[in-house]
Chain A
Amino acid sequence: MSDLFRLSIKEASEGLMSGSFKPTELLDSVVKRIKTVEPNINAFITKTLDTAREEAKKSDQRYETKRILSVLDGVPVAIKDVFCTEGVKTTAASKILENFIPSYDATVIKKLKDAGAIIVGKVNTDEFTMGSSTENSAFGVTHNPWDLSRVPGGSSGGSAAAVSADECLFALGTDTGGSIRQPSSFCSVTGLKVTYGLISRNGVISYASSFDTIGPIAKSAADVALILNVIAGNDPMDSTTVRSNLPDYSSFLNKKIKGKKIGVPKEFFGQGIDPEVNKIIENSLETLKSLGAEVEETSLPSTDLAIAMYYIIAKSEASSNLARYDGIRYGKSEIENLESKVNNLIELYFSNRTLGFGDEAKRSIMMGTHTLSSGYHDAYYKKASQIRTLVKKEYEEAFRKYYALITPVSPFPAFKIGEKIDDPLTMYLADANTVPINPAGIPAMSVPAGFTKENLPVGMQIIGPHFGEGQIIEVADAFQEATDFHKKKPNL
């Protein structure tokens, strides 16, 4: 009973339903775990353990009176610190929002609360979700639970590390170019980037609005299905959300994948990939073959263009989105410190933005300002938007033939803290396997696939067609039934 924090959602729900333990006991176990491991991990920016305790007591009563709200009732969850939470600080890991307290809940937060989930806190990210290591946070780095000298990946590094270290049963992250999948791969957890429009973005701080998605990071594909059932669907407050009815995602569990055609795009196995990662993904493909899947090589020739295309569009959209942060209506302002120096409004904008934003945010804003500026717009933004069409079409073609595509999530396992932080181009190039998916708008999951000789996790990326989350869950669940990589835990 002392190790309740280790449970998956499915296991916890069974225990809660049968009365083996109560939501407050589950929470106590998770809180104890947070106290033990958090000094080494630093996943949280803000903990909300007092409110969590009150909510867990209410959940206790619901289980006693058999008025359970959902399978997530009483289940502790951590939230990436870019989701607005009413009355709880939401910083986007930026100094410019260090004191920002939203007056409302993001739609998905409301859905989780209505489902009875217990929020234990807000977790670390790269500033405004821009980064691949969580080092671009104004609130310190998060450490990878598998090797504390390494990054957890990013930008949802706090979410992935918290799930991996059992500081929560699941977490929410966001994925604009790999920000759920890459940290999931680095921390050996299961993370899903959904189809653009499946989950409401209302109340979530934007990076690149045409790529941004919300998704779960959990301990198994089965748990991902349970979470998706709660948070997916239309929201009148986000006009890009899906209009049609969605399936019960748990209906894709415990299926046979015999005869399913799986494509392996060769462009993802080129130079620059760590041989150990290559080997682990090859072994995973063998596992899928042994389950009866038909695996064959295919090609997505535009993959090499994806990085440049992605970063032009992402940074252009980012510069527009970050224009709203000026420290006037909310956020950090220098007005009090510098009153004698600030003579007018424009000087205040300069002070607030210069002191409020970190380096990667500044780079993004300046890059986007450049690529959108008059005279450069066609050469950069329009060109990239045309290449986006090519990339998107290649995936549409591929899914006429294949049930799913499989690639490595990252060309290498988690790198050392500080190793790449001064070289943004190298950091961008490391996202080669994850960024093509967001411009295409399709879903993809990171699934634990093995470990290197140094015991660093490696993730397999399962890509599906538009609104093909069910198919991905089906393949991932079959893989997890046949393997136990997702059950391995770091030594903490």
Chain B
Amino acid sequence: MLNVAQLARIELNKLEQKKFADQLGAVLSNFELLNKINTTNIEVTSQVAGLSNIFRKDEIKNPVGEKIRDDLLSNCPQVEDGSIKVPEVFDFGGKK
């Protein structure tokens, strides 16, 4: 449970670990139902659109410019000089 939460970038407190483990355990045991079915030689279905390889020209269609850039950046929690600002990627133990 903790490993999955770690992979999903979600922190769980002790209460949540217990709650989610119970709930997901119940759902996963329901999934066991499928193991009774022999699926040897059955193809997988991953999409139902019945389409394949839809291409378009590699060209810019949307207007580019400061307005669209400003609109997009206006949603960013932290911006500096027209760029998105994030904390350091590697933690060198330095104090923030």
Contacts and interface: CB of A to CB of B under 8 A. Distances in A.
Contacts of A239: 51, 54, 56
Contacts of B35: 379, 383
Given A333-B77, A386-B39, A424-B23, A305 B88 contact: no
A286 to B, nearest CB: 33
Counting chain A CB atoms within 10 Å of each CB, which of B8, B47, B76, B87 scores highest? B8
Interface stretch (A6-14, A154-162, A337-345): A337-345
B39 A197 contact: no
A243 to B, nearest CB: 7
Given A197-B51, A342-B87, A353-B10, A305 B37 contact: yes
A373 B6 CA distance: 13
Interface in A325-349: 326-333, 335-336, 339-340, 342-349
A331 B72 CA distance: 11
B8 A384 contact: no
Given A330-B75, A388-B44, A353 B9 contact: yes
B64 interface: no
A345 B86 contact: yes
A363 interface: yes
A333 B79 CA distance: 13
Contacts of B54: 239-240
Interface stretch (A364-372, A445-453, A479-487): A364-372
A329 B76 contact: yes
A344 B45 contact: no
Contact of B27 (A326, A339, A353, A367): A367
A459 interface: no
Contacts of B9: 326, 346, 349-350, 353
A332 B76 CA distance: 9
Interface stretch (A33-41, A108-116, A306-314): A306-314
B4 A243 contact: no
Contacts of B62: 104
Contacts of A439: 45, 48
Nearest to B74: A101
Contacts of A363: 20, 23-24
Nearest to A104: B62
Contact of B51 (A243, A332, A342, A390): A243
B5 A328 contact: no
A51 interface: no
Contacts of B56: 236, 239
B60 interface: no
Contacts of B23: 363, 423-425
A290 interface: no
Contacts of B37: 305, 387, 390
Nearest to B38: A386
B31 A311 contact: yes
Interface SS majority for chain A:
helix
A369 B5 CA distance: 8
Given A350-B10, A366-B5, A366-B8, A307 B30 contact: yes
Nearest to A368: B8
Given A240-B47, A384-B34, A425-B30, A373 B4 contact: yes
A345 B89 contact: yes
A347 B91 CA distance: 10
B91 A328 contact: no
A383 B43 CA distance: 10
A354 B11 contact: yes
A103 B5 contact: no
A425 B27 contact: yes
Contacts of A347: 87, 91
B51 A335 contact: no
Given A354-B11, A425-B26, A333 B33 contact: no
A382 interface: yes
B96 A342 contact: yes
Given A309-B34, A344-B90, A348-B86, A319 B46 contact: no
Interface in B61-90: 62, 68, 71-72, 74-78, 84, 86-90
Contacts of A46: none
Contact of A344 (B11, B31, B74, B88): B88
6 contacts: A335-B78, A346-B9, A373-B4, A383-B35, A386-B39, A424-B26
5 A-B pairs with least C-beta separation? A441-B48, A333-B77, A330-B75, A385-B44, A103-B71
Interface of B: 1, 4-5, 7-11, 20, 23-24, 26-28, 30-31, 33-35, 37, 39, 42-51, 54, 56, 62, 68, 71-72, 74-78, 84, 86-91, 96
Given A330-B76, A389-B44, A428-B27, 14 more contacts: A304-B33, A308-B30, A342-B96, A343-B88, A345-B86, A353-B9, A357-B10, A366-B24, A367-B24, A369-B8, A373-B4, A384-B34, A385-B45, A386-B42
